[in-house]
Amino acid sequence: MSSKLTERQQQVLDCIREFQSDTGMAPTRAEIADRMGFQSKNAASDHLRALERKGYIKLHSDRSRGIQLLDNAYWSDEELPIVGKVAAGVPIEAIENVERTVPVPQGLFKQRPTYLLKVQGDSMIDAGIFDGDLIAVRKSNVARSGEIVVARIDEEVTVKTLRLNKSSATLLPANEAYEPIKVPADQLVIEGIFVGLIRDPNSF
């Protein structure tokens, strides 16, 4: 049972999460005040007390950076857009493509997704990604070799495993029925990185 947060409190909670994600440690009162634009550290203190009272964090008293995010802190839903078919040349996040939004618990995935993409086709079936699955994607225009990426080739968007060589990139399907796609490194457009998968067997 945790009461609802005010908008400002939610912002502070997000701020703490982001700081932790960036630096690997929880922020101090001063650092929260800095990021949030407060003139006084005590503004941050007040918010922390509120967040603790409402059950989102635990404060370890007299401990530096003693802010512990509780499970609740991660279960504040964020509405993510589901992107379906993507029109040629249109940025993937264009509002026209948004079918609907679904609440996704933050922290469900290690990397925070930017949007959800409904998988079409079975080219990644051996990687456990089925037709109709929702994959969580973090928007990014770079990726490392071995990562599963959302890439654009000739106005078409696909999900494949990225393999980077010296001068070229290969998009690897995970299905024997499909062939790898070799692309010159400078022609490859990465849309995002696969950071998680959501399968709801009752969604059909």
Partner DNA sequence: AATAACACTGTTCATATTATCAGTAGTCAT
Partner DNA sequence: ATGACTACTGATAATATGAACAGTGTTATT
Degrees, nearest 5: CA angle 185-127-100: 85
Catalytic residue status for 160? yes
What whole-number distance in Å separates Cα of residue 125 and Cα of residue 193? 17
Closest approach, Cβ 105 to DNA, in A, equals 22
Of 2-10, 60-68, 78-86, 142-150, the window that binds a second copy (rule: CB under 8 A) is 60-68
Q: Applying CB under 7 A, which of residues 1, 24, 61, 201 lies at the interface with DNA?
A: 61
Is 140 known to be catalytic? no
Q: How far is CA 87 from CA 84, 93, 95, 131, 177, in A?
A: 9, 11, 11, 19, 26
Give the interface segment with a second copy, choosing from 21-29, 40-48, 91-99, 150-158 (CB under 8 A): 21-29
- One of 17, 47, 112, 160 touching DNA (CB under 7 A): 47
DSSP element (H, E) containing 150: strand 148-153
Angle between helical axes of 7-23 and 41-53 (0-180°, round to 10): 100
Q: What is the footprint of a second copy within residues 105-144 (CB under 8 A)? A: 126-128, 130
Tokens of 130: 């089925």
Instruction: Name the minimum Å distance from CB 201 to a second copy.
Output: 5
Alpha-carbon span 29 to 84, nearest angstrom: 42
Binding pattern for the stretch 15-34 against DNA, x by CB under 7 A and - elsewhere = -------------xxxx-x-
> Taking CB under 7 A as the rule, does residue 176 contact DNA?
no
Residue that has been written with the tokens 């509780």 in this structure: 70
* Chain residues in the site for DNA (CB under 7 A): 6-9, 28-31, 33, 36, 38-43, 45-47, 50, 59, 61-67
